Amino acid sequence: MLEQFIELKTRQLIYYASRYFRGRLPHRELHLFIWDTLEEWAQFGIQLKTPQNQQEQVFWHLLHQLEFWPEQQLKNDPILQHNIQSCLSYLRGNGSIPLDCVGIRP
């Protein structure tokens, strides 16, 4: 069940983040998706903070980055955008795990 949740939410995260960075999704919609995902996660009641695998690690890292940084920084910081695109690429199955990717479960 947990693996299915991460797999489904990873596909959705790719969709939402990609649309956001192409200018096809407002920031508030991305924000709502993230909080809906966190609410669904909370229903699992998992206490272990360590992700099961690298995909889950990158998933949590990317979710945190998208929620942590203000919209202006997400849109205007080329280094942050590069890091986010590296995470998205990895989650799509392209490339290796991004450097400095520290994702933990909430």
Q: What is the domain partition of the chain in residue ranges?
A: 2-91
- 0.85 surpassed by pTM: yes
pLDDT tens digits in sequence order for the chain, 106 residues long: 889 999 999 999 999 999 999 999 999 999 999 999 999 999 988 888 888 899 999 999 999 999 999 999 999 999 999 999 999 999 999 988 998 888 999 9
AA letter at 17: A
